[in-house]
């Protein structure tokens, strides 16, 4: 069951995991694999929650959040990035070429431009139309499981057994202008500890941030839990809060440990993980809390 090289990702993203596995099999590092895997979804205009084609905020701006973390515990992140499709690659540049971890907004964009990234209009016709339809009622509520194809978070182990992870999103559709989710926040949307394992989150970012979800999952694995048990415990921290309105939102976690064993768990049905391991690239339905 376990073993590596291997890669897992949130939701149904077989093209992305196939790309990552190709990188791993041709001798690439887990860092290269997660970056290139995530880029597949960023470029896909049919994915309405990542990169180009992502749904905008209430005012019509598509703003991207992404982060990446390597085997040494180095990390880079961009928040509120506009007009640059490959946010994950900008995050990697922040990690590798600056003394900082996070760059936001205009500064992040200027940094990207100075590194050769090109601006593009990320608001596609179909996202614009969806936004215009939304504006009629302007009712804000989190959408559970957008098309079963959402924020991409990816974790990989390369031939050397080293773990890396990345995460990229356009965030919640119709968020307030300036809103940042969990996805670019190290420890919330993503955490890697190369001695132990890694975790990435998807769903309502506010709830992930409040419980520092991905760090929690990795730390629970450090204390001896399996990836599956750790994901379940992290969901339990959210749903068992007094007054939790978990019926109204989704959160999902995927995790991997050093051996390549995996886990996935969510609050509601229809979260899934894509896993490429031992020659098989498959979509796996996650177990869930609200039965
Ligand atoms: C966010 N966690 O911005 C992201 C959105 C997401 O599935 O994962 N949607 O809160």
Ligand 1 atom closest to 202 (CA):
8
Q: What is the pLDDT of residues 110-119, one digit of tens each?
A: 999 999 999 9
**Kind plus residue range of the DSSP H or E element containing 285:** strand 280-285
Residue of 80, 151, 206, 210 with the most ligand 1 atoms within 8 Å of its CB, for mutation? 151
Which pLDDT score is estimated for 47?
77
Catalytic residue at 29?
A: no
Distance in angstroms (rounded) separating the CA atoms of residues 225 and 221: 5
Distance 235 CA to ligand 1 centre (A): 15
Tokens 């809060």 label which residue? 241
Nearest CA to ligand 1 atom 9: 203
pLDDT tier at 83 (50, 70, 90 boundaries)? very high
pLDDT tier at 168 (50, 70, 90 boundaries)? very high
Is the CB of 205 within 6 Å of ligand 1?
yes
Residues 265 and 238: beta-carbon distance below 8 Å? no
Which pLDDT score is estimated for 147?
47
Give me the mean pLDDT over the 149-174 stretch.
93
Is the CB of 172 within 6 Å of ligand 1?
yes
What is the average pLDDT score of the chain? 94
Q: What is the pLDDT of residues 11-30, one digit of tens each?
A: 999 999 999 999 999 999 99
Q: What is the pLDDT of residues 184-201, one digit of tens each?
A: 999 999 999 999 999 999
Residue of 171, 212, 214, 234 with the most ligand 1 atoms within 8 Å of its CB, for mutation? 171
Residue of 204, 250, 266 with the most ligand 1 atoms within 8 Å of its CB, for mutation? 204
Which pLDDT score is estimated for 149?
53
Nearest CA to ligand 1 atom 6: 203
Is the CB of 169 within 6 Å of ligand 1?
yes
Distance 202 CA to ligand 1 centre (A): 5
Tell me the three state secondary structure of residue 177: coil
Q: What is the ipTM of this complex?
A: 0.97
| Residue 230 CB burial class (10 angstroms; 0-12, 13-18, ≥19) | buried
The count of other CB atoms within 10 Å of the CB of residue 266 is 29
State the Cα angle at 86 between 34 and 61, rounded to 5°. Answer: 130
Q: Are strands 63-69 and 251-257 parallel, antiparallel or unpaired?
A: unpaired
Residues 217 and 187: beta-carbon distance below 8 Å? no
Give me the mean pLDDT over the 232-259 stretch.
96
Is the CB of 182 within 6 Å of ligand 1?
yes
On the question of pLDDT at 148 being above 70, the answer is no
Q: What is the pLDDT of residues 267-291, one digit of tens each?
A: 999 999 999 999 999 999 999 999 9
Tokens 């590092």 label which residue? 29
Which pLDDT score is estimated for 145?
58
Q: What is the pLDDT of residues 35-78, one digit of tens each?
A: 999 999 999 888 778 888 889 999 999 999 999 999 999 999 99
pTM of the model: 0.96
Distance 107 CA to ligand 1 centre (A): 23
Exactly one of 151, 202, 211, 274 is catalytic; name it.
151
Nearest CA to ligand 1 atom 3: 171
């Amino acid at each position: 069951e376990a073993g590596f090289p291997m890669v897992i990702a949130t939701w149904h993203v077989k093209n992305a995991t196939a790309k990552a596995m190709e990188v791993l099999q041709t001798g690439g590092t887990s860092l290269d694999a997660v970056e290139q895997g995530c880029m597949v979804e960023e470029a896909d205009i049919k994915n309405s929650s990542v990169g180009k084609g992502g749904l905008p905020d209430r005012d019509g701006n598509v703003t991207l959040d992404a982060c990446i973390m390597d085997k040494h515990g180095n990390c880079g992140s961009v928040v509120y990035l506009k007009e640059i499709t490959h946010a994950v690659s900008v995050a990697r540049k922040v990690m590798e070429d600056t003394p900082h971890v996070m760059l936001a907004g205009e500064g992040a964009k200027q940094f990207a431009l100075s590194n050769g990234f090109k601006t593009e209009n990320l608001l596609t016709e179909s996202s614009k139309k969806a936004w215009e339809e939304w504006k009629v009622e302007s009712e804000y509520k989190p959408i559970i499981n957008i098309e079963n194809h959402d924020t991409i978070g990816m974790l990989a182990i390369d031939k050397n057994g080293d773990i890396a992870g990345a995460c990229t999103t356009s965030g919640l559709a119709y968020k307030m202008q300036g809103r940042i989710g969990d996805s670019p926040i190290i420890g919330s949307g993503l955490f890697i500890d190369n001695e132990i394992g890694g975790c990435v989150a998807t769903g309502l970012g506010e709830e992930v941030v409040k419980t520092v979800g991905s760090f929690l999952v990795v730390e629970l694995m450090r204390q001896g839990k399996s990836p599956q048990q750790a994901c379940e415990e992290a969901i339990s921290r959210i749903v068992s809060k007094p007054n939790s309105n978990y019926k109204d939102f989704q959160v999902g976690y995927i995790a991997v440990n050093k051996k390549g064993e995996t886990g996935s768990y969510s609050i509601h049905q229809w979260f899934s993980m894509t896993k490429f391991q031992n020659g098989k690239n498959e979509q796996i339905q996650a177990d869930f809390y609200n039965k």
